[in-house]
Every structure is written in structure tokens, then in C-alpha cells.
């Protein structure tokens, strides 16, 4: 059974990308100073796209329960 079009989320095809294009990688590396204008585009270092953030609230609530 299919889902009704009115129930679908907007922009379902747009999501987070896990990789950068070469242009995006070069721009980020230039900002960080790891690559300059005349360097070769071959053998570029890897670039992280997103970072996981640990939840501080959960750790704080665990400390409170252990103290009681």
C-alpha cells in the first residue's frame, strides 16, 4: 500500500551528504591552510564532513542519579 502524497514530508530527496565535491574539499582545505593555490589536486588529505556531538544532558542526569 502506498502513502498518500499529502502525508509525505517535504524535500524527501534532499538529505545530508556524507562526502564533499572536489571544489568543496579544496575550499575547506584552503581555509584551514593545508593546501595552497598551486598544489596538485591529486593526493588531497581527507576532510571530515560532520561531527558527532555527545549529549551533555544525559551525562549530567546520570551523575545526579548516582549522587542520590
Tell me the domain boundaries of the chain: 19-67
Task: Assess contact for 16 and 22: CB atoms under 8 A.
Answer: no
The pLDDT of residue 31:
92
The pLDDT of residue 56:
66
Q: Does the structure show a pLDDT above 70 at 3?
A: yes
Residues 61 and 22: their CA atoms lie apart, in Å, by 43
The pLDDT of residue 17:
72
Which residues are CB-contacts of 48 (< 8 A; sequence separation ≥ 6)? none
Let me know the angle formed at the C-alpha of 51 by 24 and 30, rounded to the nearest 5 degrees: 30
The pLDDT of residue 13:
61
pTM: 0.48
6-59 pLDDT, tens digit per residue, is: 777 666 666 667 788 888 888 899 999 988 888 887 888 888 887 666 666 666
Amino acid at each position: 500500500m502506498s502513502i498518500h502524497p499529502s502525508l509525505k514530508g517535504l524535500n524527501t530527496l534532499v538529505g545530508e551528504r556524507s562526502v564533499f565535491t572536489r571544489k568543496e574539499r579544496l575550499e575547506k582545505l584552503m581555509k584551514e591552510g593545508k593546501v595552497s593555490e598551486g598544489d596538485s589536486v591529486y593526493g588531497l588529505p581527507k576532510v571530515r564532513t560532520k561531527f558527532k556531538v555527545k549529549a551533555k544532558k544525559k551525562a549530567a542526569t546520570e551523575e545526579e542519579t548516582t549522587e542520590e
